[in-house]
Amino acid sequence: MSDRGRLDLVLVQPGSRMEVYQRLGSTLTAIEPPVWAGLMATFARARGYSVEIVDAEADDLAPAEAAGRIADLAPRLAVVVVFGHQPSASTQTMPAAGAICAALRQRAPGIPTLLVGGHVSALPERTLRDEACDFVCQGEGPHTIVGLLEALSSGGGHDRVPGLWWLDGGEIRSTPPAPLLDNLDRDLPRMAWDLLPVPKYRAHNWHCFGALDRRQPYASIYTSLGCPFKCTFCCINSPFGKPGYRYRGAGSVIEEIDLLVSKYGVRNIKILDEMFVLNYQHVESVCDRIIERGHDLNIWAYARVDTVKERILDRLKRAGINWLALGIESGSQHVRDGAQKTFGRADIAATVRAIQAAGINVIGNYIFGLPDDDHDTMQATLDLACELNCEFANFYSAMAYPGSRLYDMALEEGWPLPATWSGYSQHSVDTLPLPTKFVSAAEVLRFRDRAFEIYFNRPEYLRMVERKFGPGTVAHVREMASHRLDRKHA
């Protein structure tokens, strides 16, 4: 329990927007709330510990500035959180996380540091050896943090803290991972929003097409944790140890939305579940609560082509879900099969058109450079994207994210991997995607960047945007598409 004379815990969200996104980070990208830091704060507080959050991303703090703020707070434990705002965004935050740990060790070496997150859980031993931290967590984190606080407060041994890795005289030691939280309504009812600079959070540009001057305030919430699927390129289940799905009750979800609306004036919300449109009983329960409240919300969420049924779409729209993100991935059936996405082209088109017919916008997510890709299949993916003409599109290069099956395959096959963690970012200078069986990493990256330019400069796309969102949004899209990313490996 807390000693009132000293702060127990500081949770730190690393700031790396400009390094990760280059010039796009200044205005185009979102400034996301640190959801996992906020949830861990709630968990620790409920057990009597005093907590503060340092959000270096929102407050635009350099590593030395973040370390200075932590040192001034002088907690018993500093936890640097390396969970991303989506599964693939964990590894790319490691440079900033490591720099904060190094700066804190120099500034205040007496403050113990723990690294926690998806990347960390996938590579605990390497993280412990490479970074200037005292401890590493393997697992989702809350039980490990509280267990370590108990050990530090009582002077007890670390070997009773679940999911903990540390160095003992140069030797790696670890304990078995903690059990997963089994009652989300009890253990993680909502984020500790009162510890966060809520007015600073900013929605993605596309999320507010037609109302680009109203991107703030913005919030992210979760209604479930994990994913039951096993896509080869995804590392979502790295901190959870296995595929699976755990839900919050609709009552807990609506209480958090009520708070965000009434206290913080939030309208723009991201449901960050890896797969929101999956369990229809859960989806309908959440949507019905929002509809009953009459909140005027602008929400986006993830879905799969094979989980969206027409009967749910009207309910989603009435709840304020104006955008659904679909993992379409590839225009080639063979490539999709290899990535464990077995739906067909006709299914994709039918699902996109049904969503749009319900008045919901679609973000099509596409990946170039999956293992079976060649020039023809990558072109087929771009052709499919143009044919579907979704209201927005994300174009990714295939990355072997630590914790994914692709990462294991890359190690087994000797495929070249990025030399730095920032190289796993889709938009950084040193981005290095995977090569395929047929094309090089440089060719994949060049194709991806060219596809972005082609898609967003097409007259048919710009006409659709003007019709749906107005000329101001067209001007914004033209400006967005004019950005050219610096690339070391293309």
* Residues paired with residue 301 on neighbouring β-strands, in sequence order: 324
12-41, pLDDT tens digit by residue?
Answer: 999 865 555 445 445 788 899 999 999 999
pTM: 0.93
State the average pLDDT over residues 112-134: 95
Distance of alpha carbon 55 from alpha carbon 57, whole angstroms: 5
pLDDT of residue 227: 74
429-456, pLDDT tens digit by residue?
Answer: 899 999 998 999 999 999 999 999 999 9
Distance of alpha carbon 258 from alpha carbon 141, whole angstroms: 27
State the average pLDDT over residues 289-318: 95
pLDDT of residue 26: 59
pLDDT of residue 22: 47
44-81: string of b/e by CB count within 10 Å (b at 16+)?
bbeeebbbbbbbbbbeebebebbbbbbbebebbbbbbb
Distance of alpha carbon 375 from alpha carbon 281, whole angstroms: 42
Top pLDDT among 400 and 342 is at 400
Instruction: Please check whether residue 488 is in contact with residue 430, taking contact to mean a CB–CB distance below 8 angstroms.
Output: yes
* Helix, strand and coil percent figures for the chain, each rounded to 5: 45, 15, 40
What band does 156 get if pLDDT is binned at 50, 70 and 90? confident
CATH architecture of the region 203-481: Alpha-Beta Horseshoe (3.80)
Residue 440, judged by CB atoms within 10 A of its CB (0-12, 13-18, 19+), counts as: middle
State the average pLDDT over residues 309-328: 96
Q: 3-state secondary structure string, 208-255?
A: HCCCCCCCCCEEEECCEECCCCCCCCCCCCCCCCCCCCEECCHHHHHH
pLDDT above 80: residue 239: no
- pLDDT > 90 in the chain, percent: 72
Domain assignments of the chain as residue spans, ordered by start: 9-174, 203-481
Sorted by sequence, the CB contacts under 8 Å of residue 38 that are 6+ apart come out as 53, 191, 192, 193, 195, 196
State the average pLDDT over residues 320-329: 94
pLDDT above 60: residue 122: yes
Distance of alpha carbon 307 from alpha carbon 327, whole angstroms: 11
246-298, pLDDT tens digit by residue?
Answer: 899 999 999 999 999 999 999 999 999 888 998 999 999 999 999 999 999 99
Other C-beta atoms closer than 10 Å to the C-beta of 128 total 21
- Beta-sheet pairing, 171-174 with 164-168: antiparallel
139-154, pLDDT tens digit by residue?
Answer: 999 999 999 999 999 8
Cis check for the bond before 33: say yes or no (omega within 30 of 0): no
Nearest to 434 by CA among 459, 406, 404: 406
Distance of alpha carbon 409 from alpha carbon 401, whole angstroms: 11
Top pLDDT among 404 and 203 is at 203
What band does 397 get if pLDDT is binned at 50, 70 and 90? very high
Same fold, 9-174 and 203-481: no
What band does 218 get if pLDDT is binned at 50, 70 and 90? very high
pLDDT above 70: residue 102: yes
State the average pLDDT over residues 220-240: 78
Tell me the average pLDDT of the chain.
91
Torsion, Cα 304 310 315 320, to 10 degrees, reads: 50
What band does 237 get if pLDDT is binned at 50, 70 and 90? low
User: 9-174 belongs to which CATH class?
Assistant: alpha beta
pLDDT above 50: residue 51: yes
